[in-house]
Amino acid sequence: MTETPQRPVVVPRGGLCENCIHSVKIVSDRGSVFYRCERALSDSSYEKYPRLPVLACRGYEEAAEA
């Protein structure tokens, strides 16, 4: 039996928030990147500033590519 080589899984730094229509990217003066979740404005079950990377989220909606 031959083993299939495993490829490294590349996770974007922000995870799903990087490509979600409900996120707003914020860059601090020091260059740190945050994502504010706009769903948190109307639904308290979402964190306003989720811990990154977000790997699973029921509210994720893919943003259209520019």
Q: Match 């490829």 to its residue by tokens.
A: 7
Query: Minimum distance between the CB of residue 63 and ligand SF4, rounded to whole angstroms?
Result: 9
User: Is the backbone of residue 14 left (phi > 0), alpha (psi -120 to 50) or beta?
Assistant: alpha
Give the angle subtended at the CA of 30 by the CAs of 37 and 51, to the nearest 5°: 30
> 2-61: which residues touch ligand SF4 (CB under 6 A)?
16-17, 20, 22-23, 35, 37, 39, 46, 50, 54, 57, 59-60
The residues of the shown chain that bind ligand SF4, judged by CB under 6 A, are: 16-17, 20, 22-23, 35, 37, 39, 46, 50, 54, 57, 59-60
